[in-house]
Structure formats: C-alpha cells, structure tokens
Structure 1
Amino acid sequence: MATVTVEINGRPYAVGCADGQEERVRILARQFDGHVKSVAGDVGHVGDLRLFLMAALLLADELHEARLALQTGTDAPAVSTATPPSSDTGVAEALNAVAARLEKLTQSL
C-alpha cells in the first residue's frame, strides 16, 4: 500500500492508496481542493470539517446528476455555478442552499 500526501485547503493530508494509484489520488485531491476553495470563497473560513462537508455535498450532487443522466439517456444538466450567499450567517445559509438543492433533486425522482 502506498501513501500519498495531498494538500487540501492549504493543509497536507497523508492518504493511503493501492500501489500505482498515487497519481489518480493526486488528481482527485486537486479536484476536491478546488471545490473546497470555492466553498471557502463563498462562505469564508468556517473550519475544515464544514468546508469538506459542503464540498462533498456539491460533488455528490454532481455525481447524482450524472447518474440520472445516464439512467435516462439525456445529457447531464450543467452544474450550477450559483454560489451560496456570504453573510454573518454564511454557514447556515450555505448549508440551507445545499439542502434546498438536494431537496429539489429528490423531488424530480
């Protein structure tokens, strides 16, 4: 088993992976880091755990849309570039925005 050090939101993390998968883990980490930085830019620094959760929910939303598109044979809808509002209650508003987006998706099923 190999270990790769990736940087997410400016912090290093050691990640175990199968031998030969190191570059793939680096690529996926860069993709995730981009989502985390995007969320951080929208809501400010609210702690890595919350940033990671919000970024993971956005990625899960994208994956869900892609799977629906495969099942229905349609083109995947463009990923929304709308960002949650930033304010004193930015974290709550951002989580509410993600929750609303997920609720909208489940209603379309």
Structure 2
Amino acid sequence: MAQIIVTINGRSFRMACDDGEEERLTALARRFDGAIDTLRGSFGEIGDLRLTVMAGIMVTDELVECERRLKALEAEVADLREARAAALERNRRTETEIATGIAGAAEKIEALTERLMHPAGERDA
C-alpha cells in the first residue's frame, strides 16, 4: 500500500492508497483544494472547518449533477438502441417484402417470356 502526502487548505495530510493510485489521489486532493480556494475567494476567511464542509457539499453537488446527467444519457442511449432495433426490424421486413415483390415480378416476366416465345398455337403442336 502506497503512502502520499497531499495538501488541502494549506495543511498536509498523509494518505494511504493502492499502489499505482498515487497520481489519481493527488489530483483529487488538488481538485478539492481548488474548491476550497474558490470558496475562500468568494467568502473570505470564514473558518477552515466551514470552508471544508462547504467545499465538500459543493463537490458532492457536482457529483450528484454528473450522476443525474449520466442517468439521463444512459436513458437516451437505451432509447436510441430501441429505436435502432426497431429500424433494423423495419428494414428487414421491407427487404423481405421487396424480395417477395421481385420474385413475383420475375415469375410474371418468365411467364410472359414463355408466352411470347411460344404462342398459344405453337404450344399445342
């Protein structure tokens, strides 16, 4: 298990993470620290604990919004998959109808060709 030190709100914290996850955890800590800096810029020095709680709520709000958008996109993808399946089925039916029509037309053409090649009087002979 790896150990790293991150700085949040001017304080250093030693944290453990899985091997190979150091960069990810460091980036997450930087992002959270950025949220605190943003709030400090908006509200000034209102206390470390309050800034940290507000940043936590702000980041959680962003997460909830992303989850909502993801759920909406997943629903849209499901709808598009259903529409695609329906379109493919319509295409399959249309192709079958066209093939049936072409086969029927070919039979009629063959019958006409046969009649033209062998008029009624010649067929009896």
TM, length-normalised to structure 2: 0.55
Distance 2:8 2:33 in 1: 5
Tell me which protein shows more helix as a share of its residues: 2
Match of 2:49 in 1: 49
TM, length-normalised to structure 1: 0.62
Equivalent position SS for 1:3 = strand
Match of 1:27 in 2: 27
User: How far apart are 1:65 and its partner, in Å?
Assistant: 0.7
How much is the aligned-residue C-alpha RMSD, in angstroms?
1.5
User: How far apart are 1:49 and its partner, in Å?
Assistant: 1.7
Q: Return structure 1 stretches of 4+ with deviation > 3 angstroms.
A: none
Q: Percent identity?
A: 45
Unaligned runs of 5+ in 1: 75-109
Aligned residues: 74
Distance 2:48 2:3 in 1: 21
Which residues in structure 2 correspond to 1:1-109 (within 5 Å)?
1-73=1-73
Which is higher, the Rg of structure 1 or of structure 2? Answer: 2
Structure 2 residue identity aligned to 1:29: A
Structure 2 residue identity aligned to 1:30: R
